Amino acid sequence: MVFGGRQVNTFLTALNIPPVSNTLLSARQKESGGAIETVAESTMAVCLSEELDITKNKSDSDELIVSVDGAWQKRGSGRSYDSLSGHCSMIGAETGKIIGYSVRSKFCKTCDEANRKGTKAKMHDCRLKLGW
């Protein structure tokens, strides 16, 4: 389940807790997102190692068999709607665990602002669609 700002504030209101601003929610999402990605990266490294070990033991080879799937979210609301973000994941055939993933966006506010001003974008965690 994905909770947006409106859902979070509806939940807080039900608990008789004052709502929070979208700016605060966005800042907390950026903080927690980085921590979640760090855990995901280390977990995937362990899973990739496990996948390699099992593959080597079974076939004496480093060639992994994987399943890859990706998507750009869409919504069937009567209007044509394509999400600005997409995802892709790679699953090892031996373990069934995710050994790689990527998340991309069609829009980056920081890059867009720099382009409009004709300046170079400051350092940021850019997720613009590259190589897809």
Residues that bind Zn ion (CB under 5 A): 108, 110-111, 126
Closest separation in Å from C-beta 128 to Zn ion: 5
Residue 29: CB minimum distance to Zn ion, A: 16
Q: Do residues 108 and 128 make contact, with C-beta atoms less than 8 angstroms apart?
A: yes
Q: How far is the CB of 130 from Zn ion (least distance, A)?
A: 10
In the bound state with Zn ion, the residue whose beta carbon lies nearer, of 12 and 84, is 84
Instruction: Give 58 or 116: the residue with its C-beta nearer to Zn ion.
Output: 116
| Class of residue 70 by CB neighbours under 10 A (exposed 0-12, middle 13-18, buried 19+) | middle
Closer of 44 and 108 to Zn ion (Cβ): 108
Burial class (CB in 10 A: 0-12, 13-18, 19+), 92: buried
